[in-house]
A and B are shown apart, each in its own frame.
Chain A
Amino acid sequence: EAGVVQSPRYKIIEKKQPVAFWCNPISGHNTLYWYLQNLGQGPELLIRYENEEAVDDSQLPKDRFSAERLKGVDSTLKIQPAELGDSAVYLCASSGGLAGTNEQFFGPGTRLTVL
């Protein structure tokens, strides 16, 4: 079974430029998460989708960040414009949504460097 796929793996951009990250979850997983991981810290949830609905986006900086999961499968996270402080690893995870298990499977992440 294929895991969570993310692309690109690495991205270097200049500040004020836009950037987008793509995630394809494990087949059949209806819950998709985007996490931000700063250096030396644990991941922090940015947004969680149940199918195509964003059910928790309280930690998403909506002035510059946006996300979509139009058909309830793959998802895109966008930053426009990027700032120096956005340099981090962006992790995508998915879950089968089985009640009581909460098991999330993580992709390898996209490492963003903003110059």
Chain B
Amino acid sequence: AQSVTQPDIHITVSEGASLELRCNYSYGATPYLFWYVQSPGQGLQLLLKYFSGDTLVQGIKGFEAEFKRSQSSFNLRKPSVHWSDAAEYFCAVGADSWGKLQFGAGTQVVVTP
């Protein structure tokens, strides 16, 4: 069965510091991988996605993620966080092209001045 694990429930980072959010998945083949961000009272917004090709993918808002097949990971990074990056971040996997996604439990990011 497929699963997604986000080991960090909560991360606090200083504004301007780098950020890395971890995501590990369990799936029999190469899944479709996604990172979404959810601000309070908002729907989920897609940051980036990976299907195939270059394992380092660039997304919106200065985020990037790296797919590592050997580690079954898809970690999200940002070199320098802004106060507006405070939100909840969800990693998700899709098994096929039909759109069924399984989400991790999310990581809450707090940005301090």
State the CA gap A93–B51 with chains docked (Å): 20
With an 8 Å Cβ cutoff, the count of chain A residues facing the other chain is 29
A positions within 8 Å CB-CB of B: 3-4, 31, 33, 40-45, 48, 50, 55-56, 91, 93, 95, 97, 99-109
Known: A4-B43, A42-B90, A91-B44. A102 touches B101 (CB 8 A): yes
Chain B residues with CB under 8 Å of A104's CB are: 46, 99, 101
Cross-chain contact A45 with B43 (CB below 8 angstroms): no
Return A23 CB to nearest CB of chain B, in Å. 11
- Selected contact of A102 from candidates B4, B32, B36, B43, CB within 8 Å: B32
Known: A31-B99, A55-B98, A102-B101. A42 touches B106 (CB 8 A): yes
Interface size on B, as a range, is 20 to 34
B positions within 8 Å CB-CB of A: 4, 32, 34, 36, 41-46, 49, 51, 90, 92, 94, 96-106
- Selected contact of A40 from candidates B32, B45, B105, CB within 8 Å: B105
Cross-chain contact A108 with B90 (CB below 8 angstroms): no
B9, closest chain A residue (CB): A40
State the CA gap A29–B97 with chains docked (Å): 14
Give the top 10 A-B pairs by smallest Cβ distance, nearest first.
Answer: A42-B103, A106-B43, A106-B44, A102-B94, A108-B43, A95-B99, A102-B32, A99-B97, A100-B97, A107-B43
A/B interface sample: 14 pairs, CB < 8 A: A4-B43, A31-B98, A31-B99, A40-B105, A40-B106, A41-B105, A43-B44, A48-B99, A56-B100, A97-B99, A99-B97, A101-B97, A106-B36, A107-B43
